[in-house]
Chain A
Amino acid sequence: MSAATWGLLIATFVACFVEMVEATTIVMAMGFTRSWKSAMAGTGAALAVLAVVTTIAGYALTTWLPESALQLAIGGLLLIFGLQWLRKAILRSSGRKAVHDEDKIYRDEVAAAKAAGEPSPGIDMFSFMVSFKGVFLEGMEVVFIVITFGLNAKDVPVAVIGAAAATVAVLAIAVVARRPLSMIPENLLKYGVGLLLASFGTFWAVEGLGIFRAGRHSLAWPGNDAVIPVLIAVWFVLTRVFIAALRTNAPAPAAVEHESSRIGEPAT
């Protein structure tokens, strides 16, 4: 396997791993507190919808859109996701935001599950919907990452293998640990994935600006694909500079600041 293929495999594995940890926390909270049957049904339904969305989106993106429009749309989305992750990493590392804590998120989910009253017999709709929404939202980001990284490297199957391996790994850890996966260095992983998403997003979104000129052909970076490692290095150095410049001695917020305060939304 070439270095590029390994890079693709590792990138999609790590990105999917982080998203799966968050989805698993939500599903475990519903399962342990209310109903495993309903939580697993919600998870299965979300995975089925994701498979349909992936197939349709993949076909539509590669068939109907000009290459530059595809690059601009997907690159723009990757850039937004990546910069959001980098923003949180910068604020956390500089002491301006509490670190992501899977234990705290699990406790919040459990509290919400208990507050929703007794589970209904049969399928418990609360467990079903919270699990469905959590898995679907986290999964959608994985879908975008797999499609974009896979298309960029012209090797979607390897990207899918990376994502599937991450899913299996997280599920295996969850089954063995039977508790929230707070032992995983999520903040560090998120920082790494943020760097990758921001770099690939910058590369693609800028290339895709060619859609606005006659002929609609993509812009070209100096060095073409070879500029991607440079972009990763640039984003890394910039984030270190931002962290150093924004570092504060004031204590970070004591409680974890939920990225999304409503239950079931992704805490990216």
Chain B
Amino acid sequence: MKFLKAFGAFWYDFIIGDDWKIAVAVVLALGAAVAALEGKLFGDHGLAILGGILIVVFFAISLAIDVRPRRPKVDD
């Protein structure tokens, strides 16, 4: 069990790293592109360009979350 935990932690550190939002952004962008592919909305070139745009958009959103002003915590 300890080995499995360490093994999982290693791959989490390696792939996800210190900012999980980037990995989520990539998965969401590619997922949205797959949805467009399944919907047969575009041809090959159109899908490729849409995929690129989606990656940029989701990356920008993850950055915006990073730099958003945070409200100070208020103790109850």
Listed in ascending order, the chain A residues whose CB lies under 8 Å from chain B are 72, 76-77, 79-80, 83-84, 86-87, 90-91, 96, 137, 140-141, 202, 205-207, 209, 212-213, 219-222, 231, 234, 238, 242, 246, 259-260, 265-266, 268
Contact = CB atoms under 8 A, between A and B. Distances in A.
B58 to A, nearest CB: 9
A139 B26 CA distance: 23
Interface of B: 10, 13-19, 22-23, 25-27, 30, 33-34, 37-38, 44-45, 47-49, 51-52, 55-56, 59-60, 62-63, 66-67
A212 B37 contact: yes
B64 to A, nearest CB: 9
User: Which 10 A-B residue pairings sit nearest by Cβ, starting from the closest?
Assistant: A206-B51, A221-B48, A222-B45, A220-B44, A83-B22, A259-B18, A84-B22, A219-B48, A206-B48, A79-B26
A243 to B, nearest CB: 11
A202 B52 contact: yes
A46 B10 CA distance: 14
Nearest to A96: B67
A83 B13 contact: no
A266 B12 CA distance: 13
B18 to A, nearest CB: 5
13 contacts: A72-B30, A76-B30, A79-B55, A84-B22, A87-B22, A87-B62, A206-B47, A209-B34, A220-B44, A222-B45, A259-B18, A260-B17, A268-B17
B13 to A, nearest CB: 6
Contact of A209 (B47, B59, B60, B62): B47
A227 to B, nearest CB: 8
Contacts of B18: 84, 259-260
Given A79-B26, A87-B59, A221-B48, 11 more contacts: A76-B26, A76-B27, A80-B16, A90-B63, A96-B67, A206-B47, A209-B34, A212-B38, A219-B48, A221-B45, A259-B18
A213 B37 contact: yes
A83 B15 contact: no
Nearest to A72: B30
Given A87-B22, A87-B62, A87-B66, A260 B48 contact: no
A221 B49 CA distance: 7
Contacts of B19: 84, 87
Given A79-B26, A96-B67, A222 B15 contact: no
Contact of B17 (A84, A221, A246): A84
Contact of A91 (B45, B56, B66): B66
Contacts of B17: 80, 84, 259-260, 268
Contact of A80 (B26, B44, B51, B63): B26
B14 A137 contact: yes
Given A137-B13, A242-B63, A222 B25 contact: no
Contacts of B25: 83
Contacts of A84: 17-19, 22
Contact of B48 (A77, A83, A222, A238): A222
A220 B45 contact: yes
Nearest to A199: B52
B73 to A, nearest CB: 19
